[in-house]
Chain A
Amino acid sequence: MADLNELYQEMILEHNTKPRNFRAIADASRKTEGYNPLCGDRITLFLKMENGRVADISFQGSGCAISKASASMMTTVIKGKTKPEAEALADVFRRMVSSGAQAAPEAVGKLAVFAGVSEFPARVKCATLAWHTLLAGLEEKTDHPVTTEGENGS
C-alpha cells in the first residue's frame, strides 16, 4: 500500500505552492484549454513555437495539487524541446503514472517524483491533464477543450 508521502512528495507540494511559468504568454502561437470534468480541474496552456522548438511555455488555471504541480514541472522540462521530443516524454510520463511502468531515470529526470501517482488510480488523470493539453497544443487541436475522458483504456 502506497503511503500518502509517496504521492505528496516535497517537490510536488513545492510546485503546487509556487507553480513555475504560471502566467499567460501574450504572443503565444498556441493557446489550448484542458479540462477534467470529473473534478473540475481546468488548465490553459500557452505555447510559443520557434523553429520547431518550444521557445516558451506557460499555464494558468485551477486544480488540485497533483494537476498543478504536474503542469508546473512539465513547463520546466518542455521548454526548448522539439515536438517529437515532447511527445516522447509525454508518452514515458503517461506510462509511468498510469501503469507504474519503470521509467529510465535519464528519460524522466525529476518527473520521477510522480511515479507514486500510479498507486492512486483516482489521481492519474490529475497528473496527465497538463500533458494531454500539451499534446493537443502541439497538434494545434485548439478548437475545443481537451478532456481527460476517454483515456480509461490506456
Chain B
Amino acid sequence: MNPGKEQILNGERSAGFDVQACRKDFPILSSTVFGKPLAYLDNAATTQKPQSVIDTIHNYYTGINANVHRGVHYLSEQATCFYENARVKAQQFINAAEFREIIFVRGATEGINLVAQSFGRSNLRRGDEIIISTIEHHSNIVPWQMLAEQTGAVLKVIPINDDGELLLDEYEKMLGKRTKLVAVGHMSNALGTINPVKKMAEMAHQWNARVLVDGAQAVPHMPVDVRALDCDFYVFSGHKVFGPTGIGVLYGKAELLEAMPPYQGGGDMISWVTFGKTLYNTIPYKFEAGTPHIEGVIGLGAALDYVSAVGMNRIAAYEGELLAYGTRLLSAAPGVKIIGTARQKGGILSFTMEHAHPHDIATILDREGIAIRAGHHCAMPVMERFAVPATARASLAFYNTQEELDRLVAALGRVREIFR
C-alpha cells in the first residue's frame, strides 16, 4: 500500500462510491478511440465534463444569455443572478470567508499573473525575495521571474529529495525578513506530490511573507479549505475540476485584494470614469475588467455542484485506492520506473520505461484507446532534477477504474514488444 494513502484518506473510505454510476454522467467516457473504449488518463491536463455542466452551458445560451451587471432587463438580471450564484458556490467550495474574495480569471495561470503584477509590483522592491519550489508548473515560475526582472527581487527555489518531496529544512533556512512572497503548488502536476502548504504558510507568516498556493491540481481531487490553510492567495482552473476551459478562480484575503491596484482596466472594474480620473469598483469587480466569461462561470458553478454532490472526501478516498492499485501494477511492470514517490501523493503516475521514450509510449497507448501525456509536463526543472528528458504520465480522476489501469499496464507490454 502507498504509505501516504492512509493520511490522504484521513480515516475515510470510498465506501458507497459507485464509479460506474459516475461514468454514466460523462458522455465522452463511453466513446471509442481507434476502435477501443476510451481510457482517459490525462486528467492532470484537463478533465472531462459531466452532462450537468454541458446542460448548464446549453441552457444558459438557450434561455438566459445576456450581459451581466447591467441589469435593466429580465435576462440581464437572470444572467447576473446565475453568475453571482456561481461566485458563492466557488466561495463555499474552498470555504472562503466572503464572496468578494473570489475573483474570476481565465485560469490558475492568470490568477498567478494577476497576483504577481498587482500585489507583486506594488509590494516588492529590489533585493526582496520570492520563494518557489523545484516542482512548480511553469505557470508558477515564469510570472515570478518576470516580476523579479521588473522589481529587482530575487527568486529562491526550495530543493526536493529523490521522492519528489520539498526539503522543509531548506525552506526554513530560506525564509527571512527579505521574504515577501512564497508561491507553492498544493499538488505537483508532474509528480503528484502533495505539499504541506498549511505548515509552509504558517512558517512564511512568521516572517510576514504572503503565501500563494497554486491549487490547479489539488482542487479537483481533495477537499480544500483556504481558511484552514490560512494562505493569502489560492488559484485554480475550472477545466481541471470538470468545468469549462477559460475560467478559473483567484481567492485572496479581502484586505489584501482591497489594497491591490487593478490588474487590467476596462468596463465593470470602475465606479466612475472621467478623462481626468477614474474611481475603481470594489472587490471583486475591480479585478474583473470587461464582459466576463459568463458561460464559463456558470458552467464552473455546475461543476462544483457536481463534485460536491459526489463528495470531495469520497473522491479523495477512491482516488487514493486507485493510485495505490496503479502504483502496485506499475512497480511490478518490467523496465518501468515511477518518478515521484512522495508519501503524500495524489493520483499522478509519472514513469519512464527502459528502451522506450515517453513519446513513443504515448503513441502506442493511444492506439489502444488509452490517453496519457508524454513530455516535461510544463515542469522542466523537475525533469532536470530527475535527469530525464521527459516522462509518461497517467493522471487519475474519480471516474477512472482499476480495469483502465489494467489496460494501461497491458499496453505497456505492447510497448515492450516493439522496443525489445
Binding site for B on A (CB under 8 A): 1, 4, 7-8, 13, 16-17, 38-42, 62-66, 68, 120, 122-123, 126
Contacts and interface: CB of A to CB of B under 8 A. Distances in A.
A126 B375 CA distance: 12
B367 A63 contact: no
B363 A120 contact: yes
Nearest to B418: A8
Given A40-B376, A42-B389, A4 B418 contact: yes
A65 B360 contact: yes
Task: Determine chain B's interface SS by DSSP, over half rule.
Answer: mixed
A38 B358 CA distance: 12
Contacts of B359: 39, 41, 63-64, 66, 123, 126
B383 interface: yes
Counting chain B CB atoms within 10 Å of each CB, which of A1, A39, A42, A120 scores highest?
Answer: A39
B374 interface: yes
A45 B372 CA distance: 31
A63 B363 contact: no
Nearest to B356: A65
Interface residues of B, number: 21
20 contacts: A1-B35, A4-B367, A4-B418, A8-B360, A13-B418, A38-B375, A39-B359, A40-B375, A40-B389, A42-B389, A63-B359, A63-B389, A65-B356, A65-B360, A66-B359, A68-B357, A122-B363, A122-B366, A123-B359, A123-B363
9 closest A-B pairs by CB: A64-B357, A64-B359, A40-B390, A40-B389, A62-B389, A40-B376, A39-B359, A39-B375, A65-B360
Interface string B371-411: 00011100010010000011000000000000000000000
Interface string B171-206: 000000000000000000000000000000000000
A85 to B, nearest CB: 30
Interface of B: 34-35, 355-360, 363-364, 366-367, 374-376, 380, 383, 389-390, 418-419
Contacts of A65: 356-357, 360, 419
Nearest to B374: A39
B321 to A, nearest CB: 32
Counting chain B CB atoms within 10 Å of each CB, which of A38, A40, A68 scores highest?
Answer: A40
Contacts of B389: 40-42, 62-63
Nearest to A7: B363
Contacts of B376: 39-40
Contacts of B366: 122
Nearest to A125: B359
Given A66-B360, A122-B363, A123-B359, 16 more contacts: A1-B34, A1-B35, A4-B418, A7-B363, A17-B355, A39-B374, A39-B375, A40-B390, A41-B359, A62-B389, A64-B357, A64-B358, A64-B360, A65-B357, A65-B419, A126-B359
B188 to A, nearest CB: 17
Contacts of A68: 357
A19 to B, nearest CB: 13
A34 to B, nearest CB: 13
B112 to A, nearest CB: 20
Given A64-B360, A123-B359, A39 B418 contact: no
Contacts of B363: 4, 7, 120, 122-123
Given A62-B389, A63-B389, A4 B357 contact: no
